[in-house]
Structure 1
Amino acid sequence: MTGSAPHVPGPADQIAGLTFAMLVVSPDLVIHSVNPAAESLLGRSAKRLAGQDVISILDFGEPQIGERLRRGEERLIARGLPLKVGDKSVSVNLTISPLPTHPGWRVVTLSDTGQGERFGDEERRASLKGPAVLAHEIKNPLAAIRGAAQLLARQLDERHRHLTALITDEVDRIAQLIDRMQRLGRERSEPVGPMNLHEAIHRALDTLRAASDKPIRIKEEFDPSLPPVLGNDGALVQVLINLLANARDACAGQPDPKVVIRTRFVSGLVMNVIRLGRPVKLPIEIQVSDNGPGIDPAVEQHIFEPFVSSKPHGQGLGLALVQKLVRDMDGRISHEREEGYEGAEGWTHFRVHLPMAK
């Protein structure tokens, strides 16, 4: 059986299909051409990017990156660099590759790390499976300890019963911690479907207000025209409760504590992950902001990792669970600190990006 030879995609088609941003830079540091992923990441069309000085477009805030670009024959690989794109920053992996056949010309690639959102999923699952197995083994003796404490309480006089109450309370606290560990290690994600984003937000706000001793002032700035998102209702409500509670706690010590939750449609945002053969677009954004002092710089780059917390008595599982739930919905979560200038207050922003339901 014979047939026509398959059409082999040319170099231009192959570059256009890349999920990471690619820029071709001339010896005088002018952008010659870009691929569609670069348009999405940088928020500008290829027509507007062509002819621009690459150092003015790629604002890393680190002079040494520009110096390396000026040295035409130097190769560079860097991970987790902060890149300023418009009014926000993203974390990117960068490569600068000289073209030996064309002296002075370079190929620059950028991939959005999404704060570790998709990089190293296999390693992340492996690291979480151990604690989940351990949690399962701990639960049985905990139940026995709690039962024994309850039996002891019946035989003790009133003066000593507070000790058994302390035991049961601590066992319950550890059991709750273990439940979170098991949820982190769960590989099967919850089913997703079309859902109303703002209904989920209002459910989270109602839950948070009902569980709070003091009134919470949360400003809502919603885009009412947003289409349905593709997600899981229970998972998204849990994500929002965690983010809003963290924002409330973060600004509690401020003279005028403020929490703002915003929704908007972000055109052109593409997540650099292949799902069923193509990148996943994440145009729906939820932003939770607070005017607190911000995250401790010592843990800022690790806040989505298990057992990392900037709170004095934090367990370090809340944001790790939030990241897992968002990732299970094919979404992405990131954070950014916006410092105030000339007396203006600073803000901490957490952004969740989700796919749109078809």
Structure 2
Amino acid sequence: MAEIMAAMPVAVLILAPDNRVADANPRAEILLNMARSAIVGSEITRIIRIDQINPTFDLWHSDKPLAVYDILLHAGRTVSLRADVMIAPLGEHEGWRTVTIHTQSLAQKIGGRRTAGGTRSAMGAAAILAHEIKNPLSGIRGAAQLLENSAGEEGAPLTRLICNEVDRIAALIDRMQDFTTERKLECQPTNIYPVLDQAIQIASAGFASGVKLVRHYDPSLPNALCHADTLAQVIINLLKNASEALTDTAHPQIRIETAFRHGVSVMLDEGKGNAVLPIEIAVIDNGPGVPAAIQDDLFNPFISGKSGGQGLGLALVDKLIRDMNGFVEYVRDKDLGESIFRIMLPMGTRE
């Protein structure tokens, strides 16, 4: 056990049932800026102090696995830092737990991505493009249509090409403008299954008509706190993304799964506390997966693994899910050869 802990690339603490630290690995000593002898025997609340956590959310007295993403904490003698804290029961030892601290916050990769980065840049670019380019485009298209009437058979294909390219650029700008909206979504307790079924119906009748779509639903899933139309847009985008990835797959299949997950929480912006996210929606395909080189930046604007891709679809998915206080992540199951886009949302009240 000691050798395994020493080899762990993240800070690991072992908690006894009385919430005192029973062991700590070298990474924990470095993170906390404390010797192991000073850590062992101390109460966990003296070692890791969390200011932002909701008082009703008891992080240290739970027998279930917990994951708190992007949390501000004071660790040992170090200054404040943002990290992800994972707590899990220790095998068959009742009351014992492991605590791992990931200082390079995973939330920056899975949906806690802040608008201060690439998305905010895209928002500014979209506003400028809409104002400076879109209006002249309508004039160019109108002129091309007038030319088409007098161009004859030889010139008609060129004028149609102009119109098609103008329409393509205008559509791209429309998609970019989705980043400029800062309106607050009115989220309500929602039965997500009609929303999912609507998105699947649209996909099966159009872009995913040649793909086998499989539903694996948890029948006891409670309502999610979300915006139904926005969630439908997100699921359609993910289904389209998955279907495009299956072009060269012999037996293309997309699975839509739901589940209830305990112990997943993220910190909200601007000191609004934490949000518990137990509602899971997964869109899973058996395609080749996202190239490793772009996985860390997959949800940033203008990042795409598809030839000719604009790199806006997944960035928009990320923004819309964050607008609903959720997060989205991508993982690759190498053993099963599957790509998984997982959405976590807050729970609403039962009807």
Aligned to 1:83: none
Corresponding position: 1:31 with 2:13: yes
What are the Cα deviations for residues 110-148 of structure 1, in whole angstroms up to 9, with x where unaligned?
Answer: 465321523433345641332122222211001111111
Partner SS state of residue 116, structure 2: helix
Contact 2:224/2:345 (<8 A) preserved: yes
Please, which of 349, 352, 356 is the counterpart of residue 347 of structure 2? 356
Distance across 1 between alignment mates of 2:100 and 2:73: 6
Higher RCO, 1 or 2 (CA under 8 Å, sep at least 6)?
Answer: 2
Contact 1:125/1:187 (<8 A) preserved: no
Distance across 2 between alignment mates of 1:186 and 1:65: 42
Alignment length (residue pairs): 288
For residue 172 of structure 1, what is the amino acid of its counterpart?
A: D
Partner SS state of residue 298, structure 1: helix
**TM-aligned CA deviation for residue 281 of structure 1:** 1.0
Question: CA distance change for structure 1 residues 279 and 188 in 2, over 3 Å: closer, same or farther?
Answer: same
Aligned to 1:120: 114
**TM-aligned CA deviation for residue 290 of structure 1:** 1.2
**TM-aligned CA deviation for residue 254 of structure 1:** 2.0
For residue 346 of structure 2, what is the amino acid of its counterpart?
A: P
For residue 258 of structure 1, what is the amino acid of its counterpart?
A: Q
Please, which of 131, 135, 151 is the counterpart of residue 129 of structure 2? 135
Partner SS state of residue 212, structure 1: coil
Distance across 2 between alignment mates of 1:119 and 1:31: 27
Question: CA distance change for structure 1 residues 316 and 72 in 2, over 3 Å: closer, same or farther?
Answer: same
For residue 13 of structure 2, what is the amino acid of its counterpart?
A: I
What are the Cα deviations for residues 37-92 of structure 1, in whole angstroms up to 9, with x where unaligned?
Answer: xxxxxxxxx7498667556xxxxxxxx95896799659xxxxxxxxxxx99x9987
Aligned to 1:346: 337
1:253-268, aligned counterparts within 5 Å? 253-268=248-263
Please, which of 336, 345, 356 is the counterpart of residue 331 of structure 2? 336
Question: CA distance change for structure 1 residues 281 and 94 in 2, over 3 Å: closer, same or farther?
Answer: closer
Aligned to 1:197: 192
Aligned to 2:277: 282
Distance across 2 between alignment mates of 1:125 and 1:213: 28
Contact 1:125/1:185 (<8 A) preserved: no
Partner SS state of residue 292, structure 1: coil
Corresponding position: 1:319 with 2:295: no
Partner SS state of residue 207, structure 2: coil
1:180-191, aligned counterparts within 5 Å? 180-191=175-186
Partner SS state of residue 299, structure 1: helix
Distance across 2 between alignment mates of 1:192 and 1:293: 35
Please, which of 217, 220, 228 is the counterpart of residue 223 of structure 2? 228
Distance across 2 between alignment mates of 1:351 and 1:50: 34
Question: CA distance change for structure 1 residues 121 and 246 in 2, over 3 Å: closer, same or farther?
Answer: same
Determine what percentage of the aligned residue pairs are the same residue.
37
**TM-aligned CA deviation for residue 162 of structure 1:** 1.0
Partner SS state of residue 268, structure 2: strand
Aligned to 1:159: 154
Distance across 1 between alignment mates of 2:12 and 2:173: 54
Contact 1:251/1:292 (<8 A) preserved: yes
For residue 273 of structure 2, what is the amino acid of its counterpart?
A: R
* Runs (5+) with no aligned partner, structure 1: 1-28, 34-45, 56-63, 75-85, 101-106
Distance across 2 between alignment mates of 1:309 and 1:90: 29
Question: CA distance change for structure 1 residues 212 and 70 in 2, over 3 Å: closer, same or farther?
Answer: closer
